[in-house]
Structure 1
Amino acid sequence: MNVAAALKTKRLRTTKRQFSYEAPDEPLNDALRKLEISFFNAVVDVAVASLRERTEMMSDVASIFSVLITFPNLPENELEKQARDLANTLTSGEHSDFDAEQLIAEMLSFPTWPKQKMTAFELLVFLQEKNLREIYPNLWVALRVAVTIPVTVASAERSFSKLKLIKNYLRSTMSQERLNGLALISINQEVSRQLSFDQTIDAFAARKSRRVDF
């Protein structure tokens, strides 16, 4: 495109200033330096602040749910404290996802782990494979909550982006049920592409068929 890679140097105009106790900032004559200060540094500052905030949030979440994978090595009093803190975090009003005292009892009676260190997902799979869900129901629920917490907001942002593409001004009268269905298909494209259209059509036709068999 015949565009020079270097930034042009702009000549600064000098104006007379009255005496002031606070000296003004030195004008930037270098265009590259000005770009670095006014744009690059600002973007980096925002990125660093955002990463720091998200790191602190994830650290708080990890500290709350850490009892689910560290309880075999915790003293009993510390285990009880962290389990109650977790139950209080997952309590809304009078409703709670699990009972704290029962969770403590399940952790204290849990058998030896197959490995010395396990993640929350590996422990959840272990309970599933050994059919221990009914024996440790509160631990099962707590682990399911832990492994389904979204790490980022990318999934939510992706959902809103899909909704903007699906429900435009030509589809303003679309019902909520149809919108949910189209959004679900669009978001999970990998799964929807593996579906058999013939089987889907046959199932839909069989459900909507009004023919009476005599």
Structure 2
Amino acid sequence: MKICMINNIDEPHERRKRKVPLKLGGGDINSSNLTIKDEYRVNSFYAVLDEIVTSIKDRFDENYLSIVVLCEKLFLTKVLLSNDELKEIACFYNMHYDDLRSEQRLYKTALDEKKDWSLAASTKFFIQHNFHLSLSTMTELLKIMWTIPVNVCGCERSFSSLRRIKTYIRNTTGQERLTCLALINIERDYEIDIDAIVADFVSKKDERKKVF
């Protein structure tokens, strides 16, 4: 098989047929006529595909939104979650309730109450304080938060920026430049240190140092 050859994996072989004892009637247990390829398609490919479809349906389930709201309350506010709310999150994601409760107190103590937190800002704060090294349960929960499908139109607006950037005059713009321009336009809310960019640009060539 191609996948086995590419990844240097031994090709699967047909399973040895097991026979039923004569006192139980005799015959073969696995008397299926499936080929090795069909067997892996049924038992592996279809099984994985079914798991993916089920996970996608669960992610977009309306009952899932209550968990998302609790996670946002956990990371973006100073308010401590109640024991029932923590148990609901821990039960849903199969996490340790005691670890989540203790880690919440450490995180909330360091969180600034006056600041309006977003998921990106809280993640940056989380990493800057090395919580990703000490708060393992909340780290896993934060990773899950970043994989939740976006259900707002903010991401759709970013795609419309391409129409504003690639105009008739810029029709010959290359892919790399177009990607950079789109990224600057989409992430325009982030603060950019122009001096640091200029310093990095000048430091790459000696000729630029003479000019600047």
TM-score of the pair, normalised by structure 2: 0.42
Structure whose alpha-carbon radius of gyration is higher: 1
TM-score of the pair, normalised by structure 1: 0.41
